């Protein structure tokens, strides 16, 4: 056996161990697939509660990327040699896996991008520029991530259009009636989040899409925070575009998906020019490759795409329903535990929530709290979470956010509560 073969063998762990003999979700077995969770920070066991920023990666994803670099590293599509053929096969297999993940009608409707941010920018710069004119409107909501605000602001400034914002209530729930009122004959596209990264709110996206479509308005759904927690079926949603980031769903950074309905994608101009997105090039004229390659200029993140495929496999093997059930239990438990801490206020208490607990503690700035928690080995996110308008709505500069995943435990929530109590004693 060669050195490379031995390393490849090590890089291919067994399938995820997700169930006990009784069929119960076995979180301790799942945690064995994530080696980083065995690390210590400042001499304390790592408690990783920053999953909304990025998720940890299972051995199967790390192994898939190792295998590519050890035994299959090559550029894709243009080579006729063995390595190129192997890399191309693995890359395109991920496209089919992502098609099945989202239940897209065809694999060509899956465009690989750097992440949800690039996917939104692609739609704004191509579909948006072609369909939005002076005096037109783009509709978003009050709970959007900056990635679903700024690209539309840029477009509106360029075109002389208007950005409209559907409001939310104190619980962090969209005011659906107000959203519907803002769908006007001038609305050229509506873009909204499936799940709020700052609040955890799960929006009624099926209703929102239906409301927009009843008026002939196309819809983009930002699924970056939904994909790790909710089964997103784009044909059931009937959305026109859907974006997600691989690094939120246990895949590497720098890879994501833009789903678009085929007819819309075919009518849109390319986003970038370069290699692999062309059919023919002369100095007089260039013709473009068919979908999906028209939107994938240059050498892509091949290893990251292969890692994304492994992550999709991992999630599918465990089952999104089991993931959602475990995370819902953690959310309910965490809400109960944190609500018992005097001076702590949970920000965002929508009736439909994903596993996000954002909060403020009286007398302690979130950044100070995050620093103290870090000394206890607890990783949380502090700040505005790329959602400054949300913070402005609540009249606060920032929150501390504990975002949960299926490898987290009740004991880790207890550790978070203990860390908060310690911080309170320090500031008493």
Q: What is the largest CA-CA distance in the chain?
A: 73
SS3 382: strand
Please write the tens of the pLDDT for every residue from 146-190: 999 999 999 999 999 999 999 999 999 999 999 999 999 999 999
For residue 428, name the pLDDT band (cuts at 50, 70, 90).
confident
Residue with tokens 């007819």: 263
pLDDT on residue 277? 93
Spatial separation of the C-alpha atoms in residues 237 and 97, rounded to whole Å: 19
pLDDT of 8 > 90? The answer is no
33-49+319-427 belongs to which CATH class? alpha beta
Please write the tens of the pLDDT for every residue from 50-78: 999 999 999 999 999 999 999 999 999 98
Please write the tens of the pLDDT for every residue from 234-257: 999 999 999 999 999 999 999 999
SS (H, E, C) 168-231: ECCCCCECHHHHHHCCCCCEEEEEEECECCCCCEECCHHHHHHHHHCCCCCEEEECCCCCCCCC
Average pLDDT in the 111-118 region? 98
Which residue from 38, 367, 143, 99 is spatially nearest to 232, judged by alpha carbons? 99
Do residues 108 and 292 make contact, with C-beta atoms less than 8 angstroms apart? yes
Angle at 385 between CA 382 and CA 391, to 5 degrees: 95
73 as an active site residue: the answer is no
The more confidently predicted of residues 141 and 21 is: 141
Extents of the domains making up the chain = 33-49+319-427, 67-317
SS3 354: coil
The CATH number of the structural domain formed by 67-317 is 3.40.640.10
pLDDT of 20 > 60? The answer is no
Which of 98, 156, 239, 386 is labelled catalytic?
386
């Amino acid at each position: 056996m060669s050195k490379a073969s031995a390393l490849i063998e090590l890089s291919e762990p067994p399938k995820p161990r997700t169930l006990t003999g009784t069929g119960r979700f076995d979180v301790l077995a799942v945690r064995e697939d994530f080696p980083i969770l065995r690390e210590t920070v400042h001499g304390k066991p790592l408690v990783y509660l920053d999953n909304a920023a990025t998720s940890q990666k299972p051995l199967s994803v790390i192994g898939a990327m190792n295998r590519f670099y050890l035994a299959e590293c090559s550029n894709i599509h243009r080579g006729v040699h063995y390595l190129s053929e192997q890399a191309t096969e693995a890359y395109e297999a991920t496209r089919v896996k992502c098609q099945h993940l989202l239940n897209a009608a065809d694999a060509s409707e899956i465009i690989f991008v750097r992440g949800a941010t690039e996917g939104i920018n692609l739609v704004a710069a191509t579909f948006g520029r072609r369909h939005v004119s002076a005096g037109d409107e783009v509709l978003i909501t009050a709970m959007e991530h900056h990635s679903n605000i700024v690209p539309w602001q840029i477009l509106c400034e360029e075109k002389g259009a208007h950005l409209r914002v559907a409001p939310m209530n104190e619980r962090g729930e969209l005011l659906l009636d107000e959203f519907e009122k803002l769908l006007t004959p001038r609305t050229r596209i509506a873009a909204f989040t499936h799940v709020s990264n700052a609040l955890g709110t799960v929006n009624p996206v099926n209703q929102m899409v239906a409301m927009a479509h009843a008026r002939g308005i196309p819809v983009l759904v930002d699924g970056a925070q939904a994909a790790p927690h909710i089964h997103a079926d784009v044909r059931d949603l009937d959305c026109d575009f859907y974006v997600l980031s691989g690094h939120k769903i246990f895949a590497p950074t720098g890879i994501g998906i833009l789903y678009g309905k085929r007819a819309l994608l075919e009518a849109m101009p390319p986003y970038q020019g370069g290699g692999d997105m062309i059919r023919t090039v002369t100095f007089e004229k260039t013709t473009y490759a068919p979908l999906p390659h028209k939107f994938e200029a240059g050498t892509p993140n091949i290893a990251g795409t292969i890692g994304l495929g492994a992550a999709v496999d991992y999630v599918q093997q465990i089952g999104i329903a089991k993931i959602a059930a475990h995370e819902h239990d953690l959310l309910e438990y965490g809400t109960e535990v944190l609500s018992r801490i005097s001076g702590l206020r949970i920000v965002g208490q929508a009736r439909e929530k994903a596993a996000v607990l954002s909060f403020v503690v009286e007398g302690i700035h979130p950044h100070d709290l995050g620093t103290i928690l870090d000394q206890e080995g607890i990783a949380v996110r502090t700040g505005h979470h790329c959602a400054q308008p949300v913070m402005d709505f609540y009249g606060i500069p920032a929150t501390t956010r504990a975002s949960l995943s299926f490898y987290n435990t009740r004991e880790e929530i207890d550790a978070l509560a203990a860390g908060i109590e310690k911080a309170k004693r320090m500031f008493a």
